[in-house]
């Protein structure tokens, strides 16, 4: 797996969301290269009041009516001191909500320290929700893996295995059976929140997302051949299917009572190892993996149900059809 480092500058925030957030830059243009490192934001009200022990200066600072109203109650010297107390930290930027009038000392302090000062007409609380949601996506941890991601019956199957083992061919067969290709060869996986993995094409190769290399044929365009229904841009990664070469020396899962898991970006997902040998229908097995997963998340575990019935049968607790009933 290849980790991808992510960062977002204030300039990128402004350029990407200027229209949606109706942002305007009041001053601090020289600091637009400041880096935003966390999706969390902070309101500096307590810091203005003098309590800075746990001041989260590394976050984007949101100034709303509460902060502006408090600063307006202070005399000129105390207001200047309160503002300098906050701005003396290396803030990424300050954003004023509700298009409030900005205190002159705040504007002057940001200009002097090259701290970008922006303003939006959106009310404080809705703006915080919008900004946090955007930053969570932009700064979400992500990794790029060599594999193939396919939507099978609504389940995101991530096919893994060594190069040339047949991941792309299996995906192509699934597409022909009505399932949808998300990405082949390079899959970018992003963690949203605590336990959600979203897979998509590698961002730098997004325009090549639905092209596929089939050995012996070359490059094909899945979308053009099978139509728009055969592709999708992203999908939640729910099960990893690892294709491995058959070996008599390896012990493969036979019952499935204990689910095997693997971790991607700290999130545990089920993993199924499928041994390959000539004549084995990997496509149908992949569909069964997806349907079996759907049964499990609905509370029905086939292997455990089999074990339960077997134990009951051994104990004589099951009723059986009479020998004359040929069905």
Average pLDDT value for residue range 7-25: 95
Whether residue 82 is predicted with pLDDT greater than 70 in this model: the reply is: yes
Binding-site entries for Mg(2+):
168, 213
The one catalytic residue among 254, 298, 317, 325: 254
d(CA 228, CA 233): 11
pLDDT band at 316 (very low <50, low <70, confident <90, very high): low
Per-residue pLDDT at 321: 53
Point out the annotated binding site for ATP: 161-168
Q: Does domain 142-309 have CATH number 3.40.50.300?
A: yes
Percent of the chain at pLDDT > 70 equals 90
The mean pLDDT value for 30-54 works out to: 94
Rounded Cα distance between 30 and 253, Å, is 60
In this predicted structure, what is the pLDDT of residue 28? 94
Supply the pLDDT for residue 43: 96
Our answer to whether residue 17 is catalytic in this structure is no
Say which of 105, 184, 185, 232 is annotated catalytic.
Answer: 185
273 assigned to active site: no
**Stronger pLDDT, 310 or 110, i.e. the higher one:** 110
> Which region among 67-76, 80-89, 273-282 has the lowest average model confidence (pLDDT)?
273-282
Window from 236-250, 271-285, 310-324 with minimum mean pLDDT: 310-324
Active-site residue among 43, 59, 119, 167? 167
Q: What is the pTM (predicted TM-score) of this model?
A: 0.76
Mean pLDDT across 212-237: 89
Is 254 catalytic? The answer is yes
pLDDT at position 44 is 96
Residues belonging to the binding site are 161-168, 213
Q: Over the stretch 135-186, which tens digit does the pLDDT of each residue have?
A: 998 998 899 999 999 999 999 999 999 888 888 899 999 999 999 999 998 8
- In tens, the pLDDT along 226-238 reads 998 999 999 999 9
Angle between the 65-72 and 76-87 helix axes, to the nearest 10 degrees?
A: 140
Most trustworthy range by pLDDT among 2-16, 52-66, 249-263: 52-66
Q: Is 80 exceeded by the pLDDT of residue 209?
A: no
- pLDDT at residue 324, rounded to an integer: 57
Task: Average the pLDDT over each of 15-29, 159-173, 205-219, 312-326 and give the range with the smallest value.
Answer: 312-326
Domain with CATH 3.40.50.300 in the chain: 142-309
Q: Is 221 a catalytic residue?
A: no
Cβ contacts of residue 111 below 8 Å, gap of 6+? 27, 28, 117
Most trustworthy range by pLDDT among 214-218, 275-279, 293-297: 293-297
CATH superfamily ID and name for 2-138: HprK N-terminal domain-like (3.40.1390.20)
Active-site entry in 146, 192, 296, 301: 146
């Amino acid at each position: 797996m290849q980790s991808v480092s992510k960062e977002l500058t204030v300039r990128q925030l402004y350029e990407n969301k200027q229209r949606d957030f109706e942002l305007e830059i009041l001053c601090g243009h020289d600091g637009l290269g400041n880096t935003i490192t966390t999706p969390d934001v902070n309101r500096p009200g307590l810091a203005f009041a003098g309590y800075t022990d746990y001041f989260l200066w590394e976050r984007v600072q949101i100034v709303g009516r509460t902060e502006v109203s408090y600063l307006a109650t202070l005399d000129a010297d105390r207001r200047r001191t309160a503002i300098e107390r906050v701005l003396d930290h290396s803030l990424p930027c300050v954003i004023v909500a509700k298009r409030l009038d900005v205190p002159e000392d705040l504007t002057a302090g940001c200009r002097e320290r090259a701290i970008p000062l922006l303003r939006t007409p959106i009310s404080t609380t809705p703006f915080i929700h919008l900004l946090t949601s955007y930053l969570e996506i932009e700064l979400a941890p992500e990794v790029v893996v060599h594999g193939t991601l396919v939507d099978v019956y609504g389940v995101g199957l991530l096919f893994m295995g060594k190069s040339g083992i047949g991941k792309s061919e299996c995906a192509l067969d699934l597409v022909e059976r009505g399932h949808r290709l998300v990405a082949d060869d390079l899959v970018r996986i992003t963690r949203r929140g605590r336990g959600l993995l979203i897979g998509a094409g590698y961002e730098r190769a997004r325009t090549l997302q639905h092209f596929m290399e089939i050995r012996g044929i070359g490059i094909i365009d899945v979308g053009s051949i099978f139509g728009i229904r055969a592709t999708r841009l992203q999908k939640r990664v729910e099960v990893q299917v690892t294709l491995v070469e058959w070996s008599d020396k390896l012990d493969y899962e036979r019952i499935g009572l204990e689910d095997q898991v693997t971790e991607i970006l700290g999130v545990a997902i089920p993993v199924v190892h499928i041994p390959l040998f000539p004549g084995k229908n990997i496509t149908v097995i992949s569909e069964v993996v997806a349907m079996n997963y759907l049964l499990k998340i609905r509370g029905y575990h086939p292997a455990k149900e089999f074990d339960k019935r077997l134990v009951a049968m051994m104990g004589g607790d099951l009723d059986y059809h009479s020998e004359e009933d040929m069905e």
